[in-house]
Structure 1
Amino acid sequence: MRESSTPAKAKGTAWESDIVGYLREQHNPGARRNVQMGARDIGDVDGYYLHALEAKAEKTITLADYIAQANREAVHAGQPFGCAVVKRRMKGVADGYVVRDLRTDVRLLNRMRDMEDALRLHSKAHWEALDKAHREAA
């Protein structure tokens, strides 16, 4: 490995670790970094619900490449959605960008809508309580 790639690799590893720490606190205590698997890679972080997560902390941002990679890795991971979490310069992990293509986002929102409709039909009171809690958290 070239010396110039060592700092970039360390920066990427630190970003992945920051994402895992944030997800453990805010989303899923079981979030963890994945072992890299080459051509059959399953994303950098496991534990972001329904997603293969590709972590990116690079000076030059190439969204098209990130999304293609995340979508490919979602298939390998058996997840319905892929996304890239891109580091925002000079900001903390909570200010990173979650990026996906519109096709993926529409599929995600359609699923969320369908699941909310199903919950509302099954238990309107439970849906109302969850809706209120999530609106207050915003």
Structure 2
Amino acid sequence: MADCTFCGIVAGDLPAAEVLREEHVVAFLDTRPVFKGHVLLAPRTHVVTLPELPPDLGVPFLAAAQRLGDAVVEALGAQGSFMAVNNVVSQSVPHLHLHVVPRTKGDGLRGFFWPRTRYDDDEERAAYAARLRAALGAALE
């Protein structure tokens, strides 16, 4: 897409501090990192959200994410990583991208505030589960 920042990076038309360029994915440093070494992994094909990622690109995308998770530990001395994908909400660039953020204990990142709610009863909980199973085309065995 002509107006997509990440498509511009993939095409080589926009500058980026790339860390990985493969047949199906490109990874580069975030320009506003949570911590130094914060990497964004994007498929070369323009898709907006993870549910839109074609199945044949899932394996290369996830394999690259695994390698990047190892790389931030090995290269940066991190103890681990935080990986996240935003779909539409909080997605600053409408092109699928996975954040790989190096983490160390005591780094100050407290995670996210996850508001909690409750189901009214077991019947409501079962109804939600059934709706999700139907959407997935899944049955319990």
TM-score category, normalised to shorter length: 0.3 to 0.5
Which of the pair has the greater relative contact order for Cα pairs under 8 Å at 6+ separation?
2
**TM-score normalized with structure 2 length:** 0.32
The structure with more strand, counted as a fraction of residues: 2
The structure with more helix, counted as a fraction of residues: 1
**TM-score normalized with structure 1 length:** 0.33
